[in-house]
Structure 1
């Protein structure tokens, strides 16, 4: 029926499918309201055009794959460090311009080297993949999760104040502590994470300052015993969990 789309009421027509990886993407064809015969030269031309169109689609697909690979982490499928920095800088400026809240959390897998030594690097990779999936499943579409490097991850929470970010981070920490990741890695593995939280406005004047604040918060969480959520400075009445 492709000729009907080319020219309704056509009496002479020829349509060749444009295919890619076994799927028909469309048609290229000619049609006429007059009765007649499509010449062999016209058919050869259509086949050539369809072939070129299929190659063009394949090239577009490869280009899109290259773009995705350039901004994502190969193991976890999350965004990579470089792209996260770009997005965070842009979102920080937007939040500052319009006076909207923005929070950043930094996550580190506790004693990851020891875990690798005990369970092997394949299990370590599976752990990181599992944590990446946990983040991906729990962030909103407007937020952004990334593998920051090694066993460290980061999450940008748009339109989110520090208190909300703390609550979100605590839910992540608790999910890992009760065995969410261990189920798919190793039955006898005890996996915990430490999390640092920073929110704007936080006395910083750049996205780099926000990262530095979140890093200090993460360092504090690790220094105070790990498996906890911390801000850069102690808060009155803080009951963050210790191990």
Structure 2
């Protein structure tokens, strides 16, 4: 075979071995076994049991399991473990029993009393962690929120699985990548809170999430005031963690990194880089300043697995978010498209009814766009539409809703407003557009008014817009005003204020 990792395995079988994933708890079993075993595997030409393939993949990748022979052609699968003068043979039924049963059989058949006690104790200590890993992994991969993903990650680090952590904090890069800023954190802010948390005992994952979301985040508030300068060349804990391939445990009275020192960590603490495909996304810091339990050295492996899963889930969320963004937004201007705008209008209708407020729909058309396309080309026309989109976003309030409907048509839903305020909005947009050399026409309608349904907003605003264009363009008609409002270029004071 060309791959030395699979030497001794027939090529026809090696293909299946390469394709199989080894469960984390199977790796853990042989890592914690700390007893060397030899392995012989004989399987049928087709339909080899998954556990047999997983054992073949795991063999020769750790000191506890060494492949002696792998053969194809048996009518029934057979896996044989050898330890000294003892051996254990598993057939079809035993290979289907699962990993805990495998651990018991190995301990009972191959190990001495002392060896068995130690191995079972180590594996039993890991079993709750494996189940927690399964629950946490499933929750991270299924969540649709990046904030909840971070919460689940930090809960996993402080889940009470004998890891030795009661606090965990996440730092992520700022926009220019020169600092890691505190983003999320879980943990007690003082000894009294730590005592209450210990007295409360262990909660289920959903209960723990609910507790975190409703508890005053005093420790998180502290973390969010801290920024870690990553441009310094000093080889402190942060620099070491960023350069390492996995989590690092530190034991010292005081952190050499000043930002970490501001957290007043315990004498033992963990720092780990949170990365995706070798690109660092941030770091996590975990400790237990109010407890006395030492940090389990195996916590590094557990935290590393959690971080890898969180990074994968984070990428999936960002990909999903990108697709969702494309589906909701106009490609040219980045504004909402008509479908998303109508959805937001329906939400605003419910809100206006609930709060007794008023909203207004303004429709804007870019006058003479066809002339620009003919005289200067469609690229110039697209640039003009993009400028109008920027103008609308920058002029309106953050909670007003802006969309490009189609072609030269834009829509604005002005929330919590009055007739006079809508007139002021239309005047300001039209005036600033003229200052850019762009003529706009506008029509608008308010709701609720005269018991009209929300659905009439579009028809009324469109009728007003058509009337404004018929009367000469460069003007607005709101709610059927008899006299259109003619837009005028801004004076210097208005322009500077905008």
TM norm structure 2: 0.41
Matches for 1:38-117 after TM superposition, within 5 Å: 49-117=306-374
| Map of 2:405 onto structure 1 | 148
Q: Does 1:18 align with 2:265?
A: no
C-alpha displacement at 1:45, in angstroms?
6.7
- Unaligned segments of structure 1, at least 5 residues: 183-190
Q: Output the CA distance in 1 between the equivalents of 2:481 and 2:286.
A: 71
Corresponding residue number in structure 2 for 1:213: 460
Checking the alignment, whether the CA contact within 8 Å between 1:196 and 1:217 is kept in structure 2 is yes
3-state DSSP of counterpart to 1:197 = strand
Distance 1:166 1:92 in 2: 21
- Equivalent in the alignment of 1:173: 430
What is residue 229 of structure 1 aligned with on the other side?
476
Aligned residues: 225
Structure 2 counterpart of 1:185: none
1:97 Cα deviation (Å)? 4.2
Higher relative contact order (CA 8 A, sep 6+): 1
The counterpart of 1:197, out of the listed 435, 444, 447, is 444
Report the secondary structure of 2:399's partner residue.
coil
CA displacement 1:186-238 (0-9 Å, x = unmatched)? xxxxx311000111233353322111111111111111111101135242xx2
From the superposition, tell whether residues 44 and 160 of structure 1 become closer, same or farther in structure 2 (CA, over 3 Å): closer
Q: Provide the residue aligned with 1:240 in structure 2.
A: 485
RMSD: 3.2
Name which of structure 1's ranges 149-158 and 96-105 shifts more when overlaid on structure 2: 96-105
Q: Would the alpha carbon gap of residues 203 and 22 (structure 1) be closer, same or farther in structure 2, given more than 3 Å must change?
A: same
Taking structure 1 as reference, are residues 17 and 98 closer, same or farther at Cα in structure 2, changes over 3 Å only?
closer
Asked if structure 2 preserves the Cα contact closer than 8 Å seen for 1:198 and 1:213, the reply is yes
Aligned to 1:186: none
1:8 to 235, 245, 266: 266
1:16-51 deviation line (CA, Å, top 9, x unaligned): 422147334234999996699x58xx8777655543
TM-aligned CA distance change 1:49 to 1:164, over 3 Å: closer
Query: Retained in 1: the 8 A contact 2:477–2:485?
Result: yes
Q: Is the 8 A contact 1:3 1:29 kept in 2?
A: no
**Alpha-carbon contact 1:193-1:227 (below 8 Å) kept:** yes
Greater mean deviation of Cα atoms: 216-225 or 85-94: 85-94
8 Å CA contact 1:116, 1:124 repeated in 2:
yes
SS for the counterpart of 2:455 is helix
- Over 3 Å counting, the alpha-carbon distance change for 1:48 and 1:113 in structure 2 is same
2-structure distance, mates of 1:73, 1:115: 21
Q: Is the 8 A contact 1:79 1:147 kept in 2?
A: yes
Gaps of at least 5 residues in structure 2 are: 1-236, 238-247, 251-262, 489-498
Residues in 1 aligned to 2:284 and 2:357: alpha-carbon distance in whole angstroms: 49
Q: Is the CA contact (8 Å cut-off) linking 1:162 and 1:200 kept in structure 2?
A: no
Please say if residues 427 and 487 of structure 2, whose CA atoms lie closer than 8 Å, have aligned partners that are also in contact.
Answer: no
- Residues 140-196 of structure 1 deviation map (CA, whole Å, 9 limit, x = unaligned): 122111111111001111111122111210111111123x2x4xxxxxxxx311000
Structure 1 residue 9: Cα displacement = 3.4
8 Å CA contact 1:104, 1:214 repeated in 2: yes
Is the 8 Å Cα contact of residues 404 and 410 (structure 2) preserved in structure 1? yes
2:271–2:283 CA contact under 8 A, matched in 1: no
